[in-house]
Chains A and B, each alone.
Chain A
């Protein structure tokens, strides 16, 4: 492979493709969607909210009644009651409520007697500051109920999250920003890059190129166009949507792996369809099922469906990007994700190479 010829073809492709309206649209749509969602779901909510469950008998009822008054309008508070601590723990683990307040029997009496009874609260380890702000108000609430200065000891405990849920962990704005990147990479891998090659096939400019360069150089240039467009557009989307990945290397690994795993198959599809117009038409249909797993990573799936999805590149790419955008893992199993992406990348390019070999290019 001649690096000079590869660079010349790559440079031509970069210039030629960006002048193609189809390519521009395919790049701009996901970026635009990411931007739209980032504006539609701002980080700063106008009024913080918290959902609290109060566990216990009679005293719990009084705490549940008094707490909203003390919180006032500062927090949009929803208070529920239950008698079952296990049920409360389950709801915390499921991220159904933000805070559980466990009110023991005789709490108010002991407080009145100045014995500083313990008041336990449960929350997820990454619960929102609003939930902890509510917990901080509890001594004052008990103090008001007992007409004494605050005389309870709040003891916090954390509950492990039951299932990974990217939306809950990241918030809608960040989740949609990552989803926009996934969509963008799908568009680049399965639409933009194949369109460039399909047009060369359709207009037969590829034959002219193959007189002056090797087939491997031409295809490597096309793949690199996909990598460059994918990287630049991903960086642009991340900046525009203010995603600020907390683990940028992991995020980049997920993005690059997703892009590469799709580009090989995209180029193969270009040979199959041989026309940019056909590609444009059919990929509108094919993109949906290919991208779907990326958007379902945060939903509860049956074990069979989940197993199938875990074998797909968009699922694993999205998982890596989600974890990369967070300070802690939502999904984990990064080695598995890298392995799946690697297998798909190798398979895509091997498939393409085999086809070229059969055709003597």
Chain B
């Protein structure tokens, strides 16, 4: 069962005046399905903000709205001080996105891919090579992207998302499928961006990554924010609510022992320490994944596939689906992914 105590949210507070991303009472419906149900949060410049949740929780829909690719049913969202409905063009100039899919032009070279978007954004041409160097693929800039490895493509995606020097950078599952070295490089770049004042909003299923990268995280479940705090506070909140906390102690004879931490009568740990026999102590501090399970009542891998909550801006509306369903059999309603 979900931990309702942990899920309880603080009363809404007004976003700081300099917030890079402000979301208030955001709602998105697709026909009868309510994918996002009144989400509110804000992200400050230089902050790495995580949007976490299981498949279908509303993460992708929220990101779509925040990147101007989908319109909210109600509520407001702004990026860089520009409303995403009323002033979408200005808001888009302030943001960019590292897509979950490696949506690059495979028959173009890395430089051609980057140059196209640099020109579309009106960025100076020298930025293309600078970004290729920054993400470490300048040696392959003249090669067609179809010859790139997954890690190289992901780096190019990141470079593309930086061509307009966005104030807000969205990353959708940025390290999925990457080898540890590439993932680490990408995280370092994200940290550098945040240090330089870019607000970073990241969605990920990787709780370790979220724990490592994010200053704050919002847990989404069924279209709602069920918890919003720093990873540390969320973990400690769960730990404080847990009964029977233990430490696992490994002694010099390689034997392992579980020692209760909330039983003052059990003094074994103190004695082993005094005798110099302790090789390792592992606490059972909850991880962010534990927090997630407690909040959502299920693990992250309970559902297959990606967020199935948003058919995307170019998918037909429900009415159109019904109309086309019988007319055009090759089209599978909702079966895009």
Contact = CB atoms under 8 A, between A and B. Distances in A.
Interface of A: 5, 8-9, 12, 15-16, 19-20, 201, 203-213, 271-274, 278, 282, 355, 358-361
Contact of B70 (A5, A355, A360): A360
B31 interface: no
Contacts of B107: 16, 19-20
A37 to B, nearest CB: 32
Given A273-B331, A274-B331, A205 B104 contact: yes
Interface in B56-73: 67-71
Given A16-B107, A212-B117, A359-B313, A204 B330 contact: no
Given A12-B105, A206-B314, A274-B314, 10 more contacts: A8-B120, A9-B116, A12-B116, A15-B112, A204-B99, A204-B101, A208-B97, A210-B69, A360-B70, A360-B313
B69 A211 contact: yes
Which 5 A-B pairs have CB atoms at the shortest separation, nearest pair first?
A212-B120, A204-B103, A19-B107, A205-B103, A204-B101
B74 interface: no
Contact of B314 (A9, A208, A359): A359
Given A5-B120, A12-B116, A211-B96, A358 B69 contact: no
Interface string B32-75: 00000000000000000000000000000000000111110000
Contacts of B8: none
Interface string B144-176: 000000000000000010001000000000000
B336 interface: yes
Interface of B: 67-71, 92, 95-97, 99, 101, 103-108, 112, 116-117, 119-121, 160, 164, 312-317, 320, 324, 328, 330-331, 336
18 contacts: A5-B120, A8-B116, A203-B101, A203-B106, A204-B99, A207-B313, A209-B120, A212-B117, A274-B314, A274-B331, A278-B330, A282-B330, A358-B320, A359-B314, A359-B317, A360-B71, A361-B313, A361-B314
Prevailing SS type, chain A contact patch? helix
The interface centre, meaning the residue of A16, A209, A212 with most chain B CB atoms within 10 A of its CB, is: A212
Contacts of A16: 105, 107-108
Contacts, number: 81
User: Which one of B67, B117, B164, B314 has the greatest number of beta carbons of chain A within 10 Å?
Assistant: B314
A207 B103 contact: yes
Report whether over half of chain B's contact residues are helix, strand or loop; otherwise say mixed: loop
A355 B97 CA distance: 25
B314 A271 contact: yes
A212 B88 CA distance: 11
B119 A8 contact: yes
A157 to B, nearest CB: 57
A15 B119 CA distance: 16
Nearest to A2: B120
Contacts of B99: 204, 207-208
A8 B121 CA distance: 11
Nearest to A17: B107
A270 to B, nearest CB: 10
Nearest to B103: A204
B192 to A, nearest CB: 22
Nearest to A212: B120
Contacts of A359: 313-317
A221 to B, nearest CB: 11
Contacts of A205: 103-105
B108 A213 contact: no
Contacts of A211: 67-69, 92, 95-97
B148 to A, nearest CB: 14
Contact of A208 (B103, B119, B328): B103
A201, A208, A273 interface centre (most CB from chain B within 10 Å)? A208
A223 B123 CA distance: 26
A232 B54 CA distance: 51
A339 to B, nearest CB: 28
B62 to A, nearest CB: 15
Nearest to A275: B330
Contacts of B108: 12, 15-16
Nearest to A274: B336
Nearest to B70: A360
Contacts of A5: 120
